[in-house]
Amino acid sequence: MSVSDIIEQIEMGGSASTGDVAELLSVRSEDDISRLFSAAASVRDRFFGKKVFMYGFVYFSTHCRNNCAFCYYRRTNDLPRYRKTKEEVLALSASLKDAGINLVDLTMGEDPFMCANDYEEFLDITRTIKDEIDISVMASPGAVPSGSFVKFKEAGTDWFACYQETYNRELFNKLRLEQNFDNRLSQKIWAREAGILAEDGIMVGLGESLKDRADSIIKMGSLGCEQIRAMTFVPQKGTPMEKMKPSRPIDELIAIAVMRLIYPDRLIPASLDVEGIAGLKSRLDAGANVITSIVPPHQDLAGVAQHELDIENGHRSVAHVMHLLDEMGKKAASNTEYESLLKKLKEQQPVVG
């Protein structure tokens, strides 16, 4: 089938095979890309209207016990690190809510201090944010034991994010050194069983084939993850992949559009962590409906893929992002609208037990 035929088949409610998804991911002509993006944006607008959800990114600890081959903050990379105090995280979360953010993404490396005593410190921060600030929270602590998810739920965690990066096991083992593929995959399952919404993500341009990418997209969706993402791999200084040629940004955009087409009701982020604010419009045009990695300036916070890009100049601030949304004819969702969506998503989760 042609690209147009596959798109039409999906638009009419038909399913997409791995081969169909790989074919869509392979598009290169301007006409095919335009058709794909137009269809994805139309689907997004049909399900979500012009509303865009906004996530504040609080990377509160860059200490990590892992040694991932692609990560700037891998254990063996000798560089300055920081760990924010509970008071600093609370102040940042409160300021983000006041500015109009819908969710605070509490992200860290697998910091041994924060992982101690079954994540006692992390959960205390989460609980206090929920009680005192009353904003939705995403936990991004890395992989945790299966028995810990009940505690994350009791602390008020709305989302649990744990990116697989790829569903090619051989490639995974080259990327996430000393880690277990099945344990990381199960994070999403265990989170949803505990009543927490789950986010999964892949990285584009790690050496995967189009079939690998298609398999990963289908697997993320089949797990039931309510939020799925794709991000372009950015080579990091001091890592084994430092000299690897980065992928073209268009590959990430195509992946976003394909995910939107085959999973029309999912939340799909437009991350500011790859191209900064310059890449926002193209990601929304491809079908994204969440803006992630919004980072306030002058707080000594880092990003992930680009740990400094557009942060201190204020271009990743809430005010600047909202201004651009207004120019694009989009609407930043209110916290009431976001909470209503979360309630609906949680009610749709299968009952376990």
User: Is 115 annotated to bind ligand?
Assistant: no
In a domain, 219, yes or no: yes
Structural domains of the chain, count: 1
d(CA 89, CA 125) in angstroms, rounded, equals 8
What is the mean predicted confidence (pLDDT) over 104-111? 96
User: Is 271 annotated to bind ligand?
Assistant: yes
Q: What is the pLDDT of residues 253-296, one digit of tens each?
A: 999 999 999 999 999 999 988 888 889 999 999 999 999 977 76
In a domain, 70, yes or no: yes
pLDDT at 307: 47
Structure tokens at 46: 């049909």
What is the mean predicted confidence (pLDDT) over 150-165? 98
What are the CA-CA distances from residue 210 to residues 18, 122, 228, 255, 279 (Å)?
A: 10, 37, 18, 10, 23
The model's confidence at residue 82, banded by pLDDT at 50, 70 and 90, is very high
> In terms of C-beta density within 10 A (0-12 exposed, 13-18 middle, 19 or more buried), how is residue 347 classed?
exposed
pLDDT at 305: 46
User: Is 38 annotated to bind ligand?
Assistant: no
d(CA 36, CA 162) in angstroms, rounded, equals 28
Determine the 3-state secondary structure of 83 from DSSP.
strand
User: Is 316 annotated to bind ligand?
Assistant: no
The model's confidence at residue 337, banded by pLDDT at 50, 70 and 90, is very high
User: Is 229 annotated to bind ligand?
Assistant: yes
pLDDT at 12: 86
Q: What is the pLDDT of residues 128-143, one digit of tens each?
A: 999 999 999 999 999 9
**Model's pTM, two decimal places?**
0.94
User: Is 248 annotated to bind ligand?
Assistant: no
> In terms of C-beta density within 10 A (0-12 exposed, 13-18 middle, 19 or more buried), how is residue 324 classed?
middle
For the chain, what is the mean pLDDT? 92
In a domain, 353, yes or no: no
User: Is 68 annotated to bind ligand?
Assistant: yes
User: Is 292 annotated to bind ligand?
Assistant: yes
What is the C-alpha R_g of the chain?
A: 19
CATH code of residue 141? 3.20.20.70
In a domain, 303, yes or no: yes
User: Is 225 annotated to bind ligand?
Assistant: no
In a domain, 168, yes or no: yes
- Do the Cβ atoms of 62 and 78 come closer than 8 Å? no
Q: What is the pLDDT of residues 176-231, one digit of tens each?
A: 999 999 999 999 999 999 999 999 999 999 999 999 999 999 999 999 999 999 99
In a domain, 302, yes or no: yes
In a domain, 211, yes or no: yes
d(CA 82, CA 297) in angstroms, rounded, equals 16
pLDDT exceeds cutoff 50 at 123: yes
pLDDT exceeds cutoff 80 at 169: yes
User: Is 165 annotated to bind ligand?
Assistant: yes
User: Is 64 annotated to bind ligand?
Assistant: yes
In a domain, 74, yes or no: yes
User: Is 166 annotated to bind ligand?
Assistant: no
Q: What is the DSSP letter of 207?
A: S
- H/E element, 22: helix 18-25
Residue range(s) defining the domain that contains residue 211: 3-348
pLDDT exceeds cutoff 70 at 43: yes
